[in-house]
A and B are shown apart, each in its own frame.
Chain A
Amino acid sequence: MSESSGKSRWGERVLNGYVFLMTLVLAFPLLVVGLISFDTAEYINFPPSGFSLKWYRSVVENPTFMLSLGNSLIVALASTACALLIGVPASLVIARGRFPGRDLLYALCLSSLTVPWIVYGVSLLFLWAVLGFNLSIMTLIFGHTVIGTPYVLRTSVAVLADMPPVYEHAARSLGASPLRAFWTVTLPLMAVGIRAGAAFAFIVSIVNIPISLFVTTAENITMPVAVFNYMQYNFDPSVAAFSIIQMIIIAFFIVFAVRAARSGGVS
């Protein structure tokens, strides 16, 4: 018995060591991006030759980068808002309602999550060409709403599926209108699913390259597409600086979304 538990402790140590190493492997490529973004050298080189903020300054002074940063924030926030406005009400009828085609609609939405983004990029380009729409920030927001909404739907339906409808029934039987019952009872209880869905919708928009690539123009270019275009021909630490800026924006939004949803859900 003691031999067996000794072996098990040995196995546990090997496992812990492996996980430590693997965590380093996962984190290291991202850490070196942070390191290189402060480099003084003109090209990418390890180890860095000094410390400076000049690549961050070059990002701020690059008009394309700053335009794309603004566009990305507009597109991500607008498409996340649209995804919430469309996805959350739909989750109520899909989780609670009974209507013909319900399962088909839900299957259609979930199947769209499997289709690679580049297929959307190509097919949305055809859509705008056929409809005769000019590519604009609106067509971009539409495309990102299409990929973001199924995430909101899925997380909201998952929360509703675990939540017994008795709470809403209680509110209704105490005289609350359907809207009031939704607003004061269902919505706060759904907060965890909604904020997860909002975070997903925001992330898939702000990091998206394959869809945006086909439907952006010089004016409505987004942040990842600008960096992607730049990276195809240049390889200097400004891309590292820009990636770090993008990461901070994403982290900020996620923390903000979590905080807002939590305070809204508790009060």
Chain B
Amino acid sequence: MNTMLAAPITTLMVIGYVLPSLLMLSISLGGAIGSWPFAATLSFGKYIEVFSSSYTWRVLVFTLIVSVAVAVVNALLAYPMALYLARSRSKWTGTVFLIAFTPLAVGMNMMTMGWLIMLGKNGVINYALQALSLTSGPVPLVYGLIAVVIGLAHISFTFMLLPIESVLRSIDPAIERASRSLGAPPWRTFLTITLPLSFEGVAAGMLIVFMQSCGAFVIPLLLGGSSTVMLPVAIWEQMTVANDRAAGAALATVLAVIALFILAIQLRYFNPRRSTQ
């Protein structure tokens, strides 16, 4: 096999991934656009400046808390559906799969638009609430925490569903049959056999969803407001509104470090190669 076939991808990844990442790091450490790869004297000044602002801490903590919340909510919402997809012999499983895949393919604009129509002042939910006389006027649902969590949960739902479904599918049905034949009722078989065996899928899904939420940009910007700024929105603000490239680079480096940390956990505990060996 000709090793030269790997040359184009190596070039692509070095120029398009490694070099830009190093440039970002360099600029966050005080390098100027003209002097690369690294400034003569590395300076942590920008990081100190960024992290001495309470706004940065608020954004960072908010990003992490919301992402954990989205991961937990999605695990609870996706588990029963994964169980259905892994076990049911219904002819509808194909349709359910198709709909579960739509968040990946329709784009953020459509997802945002959909939830703005659902949650807006003149939207579907407010219409239903007023039609049922549950409220007299429109309830504020959008441009806040609720809308951001719902939007993020929807865009990352597939990433929770698939790992759980594949783990549930791989559980040997004989184990569950054994439990049943020894007299355990279905709920007990589920709680003591199926659920513990599927935790690996749940944990893998939660890590991916957590990272998806940390890196989400359009949903927190358009469905949220000034109280729901998440890290990617803060990066965008620094780069465009404040026009402070070094601060943008510092925050983007923080986000990249979070991503690589999550990746390290994935490789350590959920390495697919390890389980097949």
Contact = CB atoms under 8 A, between A and B. Distances in A.
Interface of A: 4, 7-8, 11, 15-16, 18-19, 22-23, 26-30, 32-33, 36, 43-47, 85-87, 89-90, 92-94, 96-97, 99, 102, 105, 108-109, 111-112, 114-120, 122-127, 129-130, 142-143, 145-146, 149, 153, 203, 206-207, 209-210, 213-214, 224, 227-228, 231-232, 235, 239-240, 242-244, 246-247, 250-251, 254
A27 B80 contact: no
B6 A19 contact: no
B77 interface: yes
B55 interface: no
- In order of increasing CB-CB distance, the 5 nearest A-B pairs are A116-B215, A29-B114, A146-B16, A123-B20, A207-B107
20 contacts: A22-B77, A23-B96, A27-B99, A30-B114, A33-B110, A36-B113, A105-B9, A114-B211, A118-B217, A119-B21, A119-B255, A122-B239, A123-B23, A126-B24, A149-B13, A207-B105, A209-B109, A243-B113, A246-B107, A247-B105
B5 A118 contact: no
Interface centre among B15, B21, B34, B110 (most CB of A within 10 A): B110
Contacts of A97: 1, 3, 5-6
Q: Is the interface of B mostly helix, strand, loop or mixed?
A: helix
A242 B18 CA distance: 36
B43 to A, nearest CB: 17
Contact of B24 (A16, A105, A119, A213): A119
Contacts of B139: none
A118 B110 contact: no
A19 B96 contact: yes
Contacts of B196: none
A90 to B, nearest CB: 4
Contacts, number: 252
Kindly state the interface size class of chain B when it binds its partner.
Answer: 35 or more
A32 B118 contact: yes
B62 to A, nearest CB: 16
B106 A247 contact: yes
A7 B185 CA distance: 9
A22 B85 CA distance: 13
Q: Which of A8, A23, A85, A126: most chain B Cβ within 10 A?
A: A126
